[in-house]
Amino acid sequence: MKAPRQSDVARLAGVSQSAVSRVVSGDIDRIPEETQDRIRAAVKELGYVPNAAARNLRNKSNRLLGVHTFESVFPHAREDFYFEFLLGIEERAEEIGYDLVLFTSTGTSDGRRRIYRDGTNRLNLADGTVLLGAATDREELARLWHDGYLFVHIGRREVAGADIPCIIPDYVSAADRIVTSLADRGHRHLAYLRSGIEQEAYADRRTGYRNAIERLGLQDRSPGYRGEPGLTEEWLGELASGPETAVVAENIGLAEDLRTGLAARGLSIPADVSVAVLEGSGDEPGHRWDCLVIPRKEIGRIAIDALVTRVENPDEEPVSQLVACDLVAGETVAAPGKKE
C-alpha cells in the first residue's frame, strides 16, 4: 500500500534507480528509446509518482510560492481589498506552473499573523513569498529582509535599513492626474480631505496631490492636505464658506461622509462642489465617484512575476515596480459650480 519509489520501478524495469530518475526527470540524453519505454511502462504499472519532498530536499526549489497576509487571507470586511489581488496571483501562478501556499498556520489568538514564531519562519517552506495587506508588521518585514528571505510586497513599504522590493500602485501619478483633470475642468481652488491613516500609500497620494497643485499653480488653502485628518464640522464650515470648488478625498468612506456633510449645509455634488476620490470605488451601489482604479489583478500577476524572477535569479538586485492606475470618470465631477 505504500507509495512506490524509483527503486521499485527500477527493479521492475531491470535497471538502476538512477536510470529511472533520469527518465522521469527528463535527463535522457544517453538513454535509448527502448530502455525509456521499459521504464515508462514500469512507472505506469506501479503508479509511481515522484516524491515532492525528496525532490525539494535534493534540489532546493519547490515550485511553491507563498502568500502571506497579516490578516485572514479570505477576508471578511476587507473582501474586495484582497480578493482581486489573489485572482491575479492565482492566475499567474497557474500559468507558469507554480503552486501557492497560503500561510495560515501562523495565526495567533489575537487574530494577527506573525511570520516569526518561537524563532521559526514557516515561510521558508516556499521558494519565495508574496506579502500583502494593510496591517504589515514592519519589524517582521525588516527581519525577513535581513534574513535574506525572498519576497515581494504588494504596496509600498519603507523600513529603515532595508530595501524592500515592492509592487506599487502609482498613487503619486494618479493623484497628480486627478488634480490635473480638475484643473482642466476649470477648478482653481481645491481642498484635500485626508484620513488619519499614515502609510506609504497615503503619503503617495498626498505627494501626487501637492505636486500637481504646485506645478499648476492652483490654490489649496484651508482646509488643505496638511490639516488635521478626518472630516470635522470646522473643516466643512471652511469649505462651505471658502472659494474651493473641488475636493479630493483620500478614500470612499471620507467622500461619503463629505456628501452627507455637504447635504446638511444645502450643498450638493457635483453641482456645488466636485469630488474626486483617490481610491477605487469598486461596484458599490450608490453614486459613481470620479476616482482612480487600482489594477489589483494586474498587480497580483506582476507580483508573481517579480517573485519568480527573484527566485530564479537570486543574485540579482531586487527592484520595486510602479504600476499605473487608470482614472475613471463618475458623476461627481463637473465644472466649477454656482458656489463660485
Partner DNA sequence: GGCGAGTGCTCATACGTATGAACGTGCAGC
Partner DNA sequence: GCTGCACGTTCATACGTATGAGCACTCGCC
For a second copy, the binding residues (CB under 8 A) are: 1, 3, 24, 40, 43-44, 47-54, 56-57, 62-64, 72-74, 76, 83, 86-87, 90-91, 93-95, 97-105, 107, 116, 119-122, 124-125, 143, 146-148
- The binder of 27, among a second copy, DNA, none, by C-beta within 5 to 8 A per type, is DNA
Please work out, in degrees rounded to the nearest 5, the angle formed at the alpha carbon of residue 64 by the alpha carbons of 62 and 68.
140
- The binder of 25, among DNA, a second copy, none, by C-beta within 5 to 8 A per type, is DNA
Please identify, using beta-carbon distances, which residue of 292 and 294 lies nearer to a second copy: 294
Give phi and psi for 56, each to the nearest 5: -65, -40
- Of residues 1, 40, 42, 58, which one binds DNA by CB under 7 A? 58
x/- track of binding to DNA for residues 9-48 (CB under 7 A): -----xxxxxx-xx-xx-x--xxx--x------------x
- The binder of 241, among DNA, a second copy, none, by C-beta within 5 to 8 A per type, is none
- Of residues 1, 57, 77, 160, which one binds DNA by CB under 7 A? 57
Binding site for DNA (CB under 7 A): 2-3, 5-7, 14-19, 21-22, 24-25, 27, 30-32, 35, 48, 50-51, 54-55, 57-59
